[in-house]
Every structure is written in C-alpha cells, then in structure tokens.
Copies of this chain bind each other. A is one copy, B any other.
Amino acid sequence: MAYVHGYDERANERLDDQARTLLELLHADTSYPAGSLVLEAGCGVGAQTVTLAQRSPGARFVSIDVEAESVAAARARVVRAGVSNVELRQADIFDLPFAEGSFDHVFVCFVLEHLAQPVQALEILARVLRPGGTITVIEGDHGSTYFHPDSAAAHEAIQCQVELQHAAGGDSNIGRRVYPVLVEAGFSAVHVRPLMVYVDASRPELVDGFTRKTFTAMIEGVREDAIAAGLIGAERFDEGIRDLYRTAEADGTFSSAFFRGVGERGG
C-alpha cells in the first residue's frame, strides 16, 4: 500500500510538473493586486485555479463552474494545495448569481471554445465587472498546430477534434478570434498577445509534457467519438496519432499557439 501510494504521489507530481510547463507560459503575465476580487468563470476541475491564486496571494478569487462535479474536484484540488484565497461555487455563466459591478477582474481560460455564443457570454461577464475592471481571456487554436515531420493523417486526426467541438456548438480555433469577440462584446483597450508553444528535442520537458501528454493525448481522447461520428476510419486516426508521437522524436518539432486577450469594461 505504501508503495502504491508513493507511486501515485510521484505520478501526480509529474502530472503537475507537466501542467506547470504550460501554465507558466499561459499565466506568466497574470497577477492581480492585493485586495482585488477576481471571478474565475468556468474553472472546470481547477486546473488553473491553484496557479492563479498562488500567483496573486493578496487577491481573492471566486471560481465558478456549471458542473457540480467539477466544482467538487476543483475544491479538493484547492484544499490539497493549501490555498485559502479561493471560494468555489456552482454557477452558470449565462445566469450569474452576482450583482452588476461585483468584481475587479474576470478570468476566463479554455471556456469560450466550448460556447455557441462566446460574445454573449462576454457581455454577461462584462456586467459583473466594475467600470474600469479588466477581463483576461486565454484560448487555444487547433488550427495553429503544425509539426515536423508533417503528416496529412495527423492533421485529419486533429480536425476530428475540431469537428466534434463544432458539432457541440463550440470552436476549437477560437484563439485567433479572441480579439474580435472581445471588441464585439464591448470591451475597450483590447490587447491580444499570442503565446506560442514551440517544442524540439532541446526542450525535453515540453516534448513529454506538451507534445505527448497534453496535445497528442487530448486528440487521442476523441478517438471513439470521431470514429462513431464517421469522421475518420480507425486506421487513419491511429496513423495520425502515431505521426503526432513521431514529432516528439529527436529530429521532430511541434508548434501550437494560445492567445491571451485583455480588455477593460468601459465607464
């Protein structure tokens, strides 16, 4: 039992290390002043929550998610990390239980990609911001992904994820649209910065943590749904996944971009 427990702990640490590599890139610029109140909208199982809260120890966070199970998982994660400046609540972005102007800042990461109406969601989030408060939006873009050796099968496998997301009402390529959706939602002083993840053999922590265990694992995760939906044959999908793993070898490279936008609520 002790051994198994020890093994699990090490596995968790390794997963956390991998997540940290990407989180460092995504959140390097995100820190909130002491005393500010921040809404994390769509926290999921809390993948970003602990990092966010630890980077701004003087700020207070309210992290919400629409799924009760996710909120419970996020709460467990926050408790495990010993973070005390986060309050977790189950709540729907489209039916927020907060008064207008309640928050100094809003943080939204990997959420808009799932929404059929991202502009409407941002308009609602704008209302709970005080005038002059800021929103930070971080989204990926699967269409920003390319690699060496190149592979049509790998692009087809990635496209399955894009099409499944699309069928569910979302947009896996929303990263490139962060600027126009923030502008359309009425935010001012909108500034978007690309965060490009580039991986080659000189960056072994990213080869393993990003190319293999984050990106390729995510695409691998849609295998059954993609085949069931008739988007691709099993052999072609598996060829694409093999080719994605191939880019993690010594002479391979892998690139994908995220976009980080900041906007201000007008007065």
Contacts and interface: CB of A to CB of B under 8 A. Distances in A.
Given A143-B150, A146-B141, A196-B196, A251 B202 contact: no
Interface string A182-205: 011000001111101010111000
Given A150-B173, A190-B202, A193-B198, 8 more contacts: A146-B176, A180-B252, A183-B250, A183-B251, A191-B202, A192-B253, A196-B257, A198-B259
Contact of A192 (B143, B183, B200, B252): B200
Bin chain A's interface residue count: 20 to 34
A176 B190 CA distance: 30
Contact of A180 (B146, B148, B194): B148
- State how many copies of this chain the complex holds: 2
Interface string A162-181: 00000000000100110110
Contacts of A250: 183
A12 interface: no
A54 interface: no
Contacts of A190: 202
Contacts of A200: 179-180, 192
24 contacts: A143-B150, A144-B144, A144-B146, A146-B173, A147-B176, A148-B176, A148-B177, A148-B180, A150-B173, A177-B253, A179-B201, A179-B202, A180-B251, A180-B252, A184-B251, A190-B202, A192-B198, A192-B200, A192-B202, A192-B253, A193-B198, A194-B196, A196-B257, A198-B259
- Determine the main DSSP class of A at the interface with B: strand
A158 to B, nearest CB: 13
Contacts of A173: 146, 150
A255 interface: yes
A173 B252 CA distance: 14
Contacts of A179: 200-202, 253
